[in-house]
Amino acid sequence: MNINKNYFDLKESYLFAKVSQKIREYKAQNPNNEIISLGVGDVTIPLAPKIVAAMSKAVLEMGAADTFHGYGDYEGYLFLRQAVCGYYAGKGVRLSDDEVFISDGAKSDLGNILDIFSEDNTVLIPDPVYPVYVDTNIMAGRRIEYMDGNLENCFLPMPNAGTKANIIYLCSPNNPTGAVYNKEQLSQWVKYALENDAVILFDGAYEAFIQDGGLPSSIYQIDGAKKCAVEFCSLSKTAGFTGTRCGYTVVPRELERGGASLNKLWLRRQSTKFNGVPYIVQRGAEAVFTGEGLSQIKRDIAYYLENARIIADALTELGIWFAGGRNSPYIWLKCPDNMLSWEFFDFLLERANVAGTPGSGFGSNGEGFFRLTAFGSCENISEAMRRFKTALD
């Protein structure tokens, strides 16, 4: 019996554990100080009333013989796939319902999609990055190339003709940096992928935060993308579903590699290793895409974006460089006085009783940077930024 030895190449992820531990220690020494956390990327506003009503009804349906639901389709109920198609139509993207796969979240599918690709492919991953892209590929033993996000490119790395890669991860709006690719930039990525026979795995988990109409909220708004990109979306941040678990993955029918349809390969993967998302949750997700549902979730997103504006305004006032904060719930800032990421973490915790996430935890290019999130209450965030300013004064 041999285990998968690639697991030994994984780094233990101490980032959030270390953040929690440092906060605990500080609290133990300073029991009267109230700490405000702008560290965790988790939503705080409860599910919208339209979603709650839909799920309440669905639970009762599951308890009655006439309306009970057993196994659903592996790829999700048609009612939800059609609702997703309607949402895309609103972005000017036409999808057919068999191009949409309902998932239990973008994270699962971003990892599981790798099953359909050979292990000898090279993957291209931005640094800094959401750690799941790296770890899932290490587990499969794939060769990883990194592309640098930095001050020069505003943490939006662009294709380099000298780099040959088969699988490319893009996340826009980005976690952790909050940076958003514009159409011209995404067009260059699509062109690169088509020229290199590569596939883009486009993580659009934060698309609902985009407010500037000129910015693309789906890669399929770029010509040619259906021939080179899979798109992963989630209701986690869009509609507060981090604990409710529902997302969707788009695999266009036009997307073929090595003579095979990726759409069919993915359906085969899902029908073999997945049994679909709970009926109750799919009814809740369907409610998100109704007129009433969309207006309710837009109100919640506006609340988080107002929080982001408060953070951004404070940083602007202090003359601190940052990305994000406008079309994203994340603010990625350059640590003042050239502090290192963990130095600034300690400084902020001790001087302002505010916790964030050290950028170095997202990759080597994150050193010297710091992530704040706009989740939480407006009162707490305003208070946090007041303390932040005082500490740096």
Site for a second copy, residues 194 to 253, rule: CB under 8 A: 197-199, 240, 242-245
Would you state the structure tokens that stand for residue 332, as one six-digit string?
């990625």
In 3D space, the residue among 257, 196, 194 whose CA is nearest the CA of residue 222 turns out to be: 194
Binding residues among 154-173 for a second copy as defined by CB under 8 A: 166-167
Cβ distance to a second copy smaller for residue 199 or 311 = 199
Which amino acid type is present at position 66?
D
Non-local CB neighbours of 49 within 8 Å, separated by 6+ positions: 296
Cβ distance to a second copy smaller for residue 82 or 242 = 242
Binding residues among 79-138 for a second copy as defined by CB under 8 A: 104-105, 107-108, 111-112, 115-121, 132, 135-136
Least distance CB 17 / a second copy (angstroms): 11
Binding residues among 306-335 for a second copy as defined by CB under 8 A: none
Q: How many residues bind a second copy (CB under 8 A)?
A: 76
331 within 8 A of 324, measured Cβ to Cβ: yes
Least distance CB 338 / a second copy (angstroms): 33
Binding residues among 27-86 for a second copy as defined by CB under 8 A: 42-49, 51-52, 55-56, 59-60, 62-65, 67-72
Least distance CB 258 / a second copy (angstroms): 5
**Bond into 176 cis (ω within 30):** yes
Classify 30 as helix, strand or coil. coil
Cβ distance to a second copy smaller for residue 242 or 382 = 242
Cβ distance to a second copy smaller for residue 43 or 179 = 43
Cβ distance to a second copy smaller for residue 272 or 338 = 272
Least distance CB 134 / a second copy (angstroms): 10
Least distance CB 364 / a second copy (angstroms): 20
Using rule CB under 8 A, residue 139 touches a second copy: yes
Least distance CB 339 / a second copy (angstroms): 29
248 within 8 A of 100, measured Cβ to Cβ: yes
**In angstroms, rounded to a whole number, what is the distance separating the alpha carbons of residues 41 and 175?**
9
Query: Residue 231 forms beta bridges with which residues?
Result: 202, 250
Would you state the structure tokens that stand for residue 42, as one six-digit string?
């988790």
Cβ distance to a second copy smaller for residue 112 or 221 = 112
H/E stretch holding 37 reads: strand 36-37
Dihedral class, residue 345 (left if φ above 0, else alpha if ψ from -120 to 50, else beta): alpha
Cβ distance to a second copy smaller for residue 6 or 382 = 6
Least distance CB 55 / a second copy (angstroms): 5
Binding residues among 263-282 for a second copy as defined by CB under 8 A: 265, 268-269, 272-281
Non-local CB neighbours of 207 within 8 Å, separated by 6+ positions: 173, 217, 218, 233, 238
Binding residues among 9-28 for a second copy as defined by CB under 8 A: 10
151 within 8 A of 157, measured Cβ to Cβ: no
Least distance CB 251 / a second copy (angstroms): 13
Report the residue from 210, 262, 312, 374 that binds a second copy according to the rule CB under 8 A. 262
163 within 8 A of 194, measured Cβ to Cβ: no
Least distance CB 83 / a second copy (angstroms): 18
In 3D space, the residue among 257, 133, 287, 261 whose CA is nearest the CA of residue 205 turns out to be: 133
Q: Kindly list the distances between the CA atom of residue 259 and the CA atoms of 48, 202, 264, 268, in Å, as whole numbers in the listed order.
A: 44, 22, 12, 16
Dihedral class, residue 287 (left if φ above 0, else alpha if ψ from -120 to 50, else beta): alpha
Binding residues among 330-369 for a second copy as defined by CB under 8 A: none
Cβ distance to a second copy smaller for residue 123 or 179 = 123
Classify 76 as helix, strand or coil. coil
Cβ distance to a second copy smaller for residue 215 or 280 = 280
